[in-house]
Amino acid sequence: MTLIDKDIIAKKRNGRQSKNTILKWLFFLCTMFGLIVLIMLIVDTLMDGWSRLNLDFLTSFNSSRAEQAGFFGAIIGSLWLMLVTAPVAIILSIGTALYLEEYAPKNKFTEFIKINISNLAGVPSVVFGLLGLAMFARALQLGNSVLAAGLTLALMILPVIVVASQEAIRTVPASVREASIGMGATKWQTVSRIILPAAIPGIVTGVILALSRALGETAPLVVIGVPTTLLVTPSSVLDSFQAMPMQIYSWVKMPNEEFQYVAAAGIIVMLVVLLLMNSAAIFIRNKFSKRY
């Protein structure tokens, strides 16, 4: 008597295996789809923009004459913007994360705050733009200055950094924390000497990813009314400025076809900056992770 009919098993196994193979290729196609579209976009942009990408493009201001239009004002304007956004966002959000994870009592109210911060991360950027317009541009009379736009973008990326920092702080093992307290260290000593250094890679990764989002954001700047042409760079945070994404957007809208190539060149510059920032984030994550 044979308990196992090899023929039936072989038949069924074939079915299972072919299903396995089909799904494997299906998932591969899913992966490739996004990647191929992205590569096509980059190749198309590179082909359009390559001819316009030279030193003059990087060092001259915007112009209505397509052959003279440059990206300089926008590059410097975006750097100024980051000089305001980065410190404000970093200080506020690390402070928030430390309070929520280390100091706040574990009760319903704290939970409520945490849920709200996670939800805030999903609020569309144009809503933050309106908030910035009402609060910083109008109520505080900052107009369309670097400060107004920088604070708006800082608020926008704040929840993202808070969530990333919370995750990073939470991964610091309880044993290290307890050991520090057991040695008689105060809360602040534990936080500043043990927890923050251990959580820094996670926090820095979050910060850089959030900053690159802020750098590429257009909607809040449109709402605040950032100019598309300004032939000077700001000399203080109260001056108005230009920004890279706004400049690209305005070039795309120009009637002269030549500006499409100028816009493509602008996109390349912005992509290079963003990719550099993201690579830095990945590098930091790989270099400093697995500390305990």
Partner 1 sequence: MKKNLFLAALLMSLMFILAACSGSGSEEGTEEESAGSEETTEEGSEDESSESGSSADITGAVNEDDEQIAGEGSSTVFPILNLLVEDFNADQGIAVELGGNGTGSGFSALIDGTAQFANASRAIEQEEIDALEEAGIDYTEFLVATDGLTVAVNPANDFVEELTFDELKTIYSGEAENWSDVNPDFPDEPIAAYGPDQSHGTHDFFNEEVMEEEGVQGQLIQDTNQVVSSVVGDQNAIGFFGYSFYQENSDQLKAVSIVGPDSEEAVEPTFENVMDFSYPLSRPLYVYTDNAALEENETFHTFMEFVLKNSQSAAEEVGYVPLEDDALEEELSKLPNLEQ
Contacting range for partner 1; rule: CB under 8 A; set: 17-25, 75-83, 159-167, 177-185: 75-83
Please tell me the distance from the alpha carbon of residue 82 to that of residue 161, in angstroms, as a whole number: 15
Please tell me the distance from the alpha carbon of residue 154 to that of residue 92, in angstroms, as a whole number: 9
**Which residue in 50, 84, 97 sits closest to 236, CA to CA?**
84
Per CB under 8 A, does 179 bind partner 1?
Answer: no
In the set 6, 65, 106, 108, which binds partner 1 (CB under 8 A)? 65
Binding mask 124-163 for partner 1 (x = CB under 8 A): -------------xx----xx-------------------
Residue 75 or 163 having the CB closest to partner 1 = 75
Contact yes or no for 68/133 (Cβ under 8 A): no
Please tell me the distance from the alpha carbon of residue 281 to that of residue 207, in angstroms, as a whole number: 9
Contacting range for partner 1; rule: CB under 8 A; set: 12-20, 37-45, 99-107, 255-263: 255-263
Per CB under 8 A, does 120 bind partner 1?
Answer: no
Please tell me the distance from the alpha carbon of residue 151 to that of residue 138, in angstroms, as a whole number: 13
Residue 21 or 229 having the CB closest to partner 1 = 229
**Which residue in 242, 244, 241 sits closest to 262, CA to CA?**
244
Maximum Cα–Cα distance across the chain:
93
Residue 31 or 236 having the CB closest to partner 1 = 236
Cα 13 to chain centroid, rounded: 47
Per CB under 8 A, does 256 bind partner 1?
Answer: yes
- The residues that touch partner 1, with contacts defined as CB under 8 A, are 56, 59-65, 68, 70, 72, 76, 79-80, 82-83, 86, 137-138, 143-144, 197, 200-201, 204, 222, 225-233, 235, 239-240, 250, 252-257, 260, 284, 287-288, 291
